[in-house]
Structure 1
Amino acid sequence: MDMNKDGVAVSALYTAGVWQWAGLSNAELTTPESATGVFRWVNAYMRFYRWLNPQSYCLRHQLLHRHSAIDHLVKQAHCPRVLEVASGFSPRGATLSANPDCHYTEMDLPGMVAHKRLQFQRTAAGKAVLARPNFTLQAGDITTYDFSADAVSKPMTILTEGLMMYFSRSQQLPLWRAIAMRLAKSDGVYIFDYIPLTEEPARSFLGRVLHNLRVHWFGIAGDFAYDERDREAVARDLQLCGFDDVRCYATGEVAQAWNLPAAEVATRTLIYVCRMKNSTVSVPATTTASKKSEQSS
């Protein structure tokens, strides 16, 4: 994952730029100044990419719908505790922790947590967020984090937005098992996004040629750990890890119903919602987007 001169992932800066561009609540508190330049540069590149691959989706709307759909699901869950892993510069914690009944924990690598804490400290409003007793910035690595260490028995929502595509199947499975074991003890819901290759728009002929040159000639494979699983296979893996109720929603198919911003713009990111048997946590009713995953159960 490319880093800027301050050691911040370019992807984190771009997504922060998306939140600011979209005017999401509290984005002004969490978005670094350097995100603006990254946002413009990546958008310029994406204009070329979409000209090359006309069937591809607009990246900034993909990320906006992903984030907003997860916001919708978190609010539907009504869990008193939220753990957002790899939170980056997300403004979600600052927004939801305004409700004193919601205890919100953001976890990321130590360097990222230090950058975000500094960002909050630049404004009086940001300092007020840090001072909330129900808001926690926590350094940690999901690959070594002990989910069972939290002894609180209240239902919890666990989020891994924009993370699972960086892990291979062999890396995902133990993480999903650990999360399932944690929720089996306290009730709750696990929410994450993923885009299998089968859901990706087809590249144009020229796009395929340049992709093959990049991968096979120059050895630039990218950061995503793609494999051959489709949405149903991912759902089966989640069930294998202990989740009894696995639902899948495609952002473009729920955008209108969930009142996502810019709902008229086509996007396609899969959002998985995973619960244990007899969970009391609420999730949206089944839609066309989730029927395939349920049929695979």
Structure 2
Amino acid sequence: MKTTSAPHSETAGLSVSVVVYQPDVEQLTSTLASLGSACDTLRARRPNLPLELYLVDNGGLPDTAAALNVLRAHGIACAVISGHGNVGYGCGHNLAIERSDSHYHLILNPDIDLASDALKQALDFFDAHADAGLITPWIGDEDGRQQFLCRRYPTLLDLFSRGFLPSRLRQLFTSRLSRYEMRDCINARDIVWDPPIVSGCFMLFRTPVLKQLAGFDARYFLYFEDYDLSLRAHDVTRVVYAPAVRVLHHGGGAARKGSAHIRMFAVSAYKFFNRFGWKWL
């Protein structure tokens, strides 16, 4: 394993980790560009804030030199962590988390585009709410419609009906899925404290909280590592949905990605329920 161009570490800064495996180069470039724009807006408010990016290569990283050089030109220290193979999503982020000594750490998917003021809004929220340790944002899809990625504790029926049923059958479970997705309280306006589970596509932590949790549980290769981390986070801090922090998410569910992803989803779901308790209906 190797880290190239290791960034500086200062306790007042913001670090970001992005884990990739054979990523779509166009989308990854878009994600990095939006991160750069959000960092520019943040720096306008906090000109001396150290910023660092860890790009974790689990395999198949395309040539990103130009995109990283643009970020460096904007004062963002960039490192590529590679040579460890495909260790999974959570373990990949852990490689960056263990290197970081920032005050804040952002776990970011390579299929997320940040609003230009997303990081500014998030750090302003942290400044105003000392009890908050993990922020989850308003998340939209490619058409700008809200995705409801905060969750109550799932049942097996919730997971199956949401992830694998065709849309016409899924309509039979509209009421219970709305409850699972917290549609009764998650909206574009209201701050919601302590949603039980939040999405791993964008998790902004106070880094000491994340280190206290020892990052992701390495037993999950893909899927449910964010459910696990969310539930453990409630033991040490407060989790908050802050809709002023906005991102767009271009990702898709396991069922649309083929049989290998369905198998990984099932294996991780088994590990999750074995740890936190089974709920069937």
TM-score, scaled to structure 1? 0.30
Q: Which has the larger strand fraction?
A: 2
Q: Which has the larger helix fraction?
A: 1
TM-score, scaled to structure 2? 0.32
Name which structure has the greater RCO, CA cutoff 8 Å, separation 6+. Answer: 2
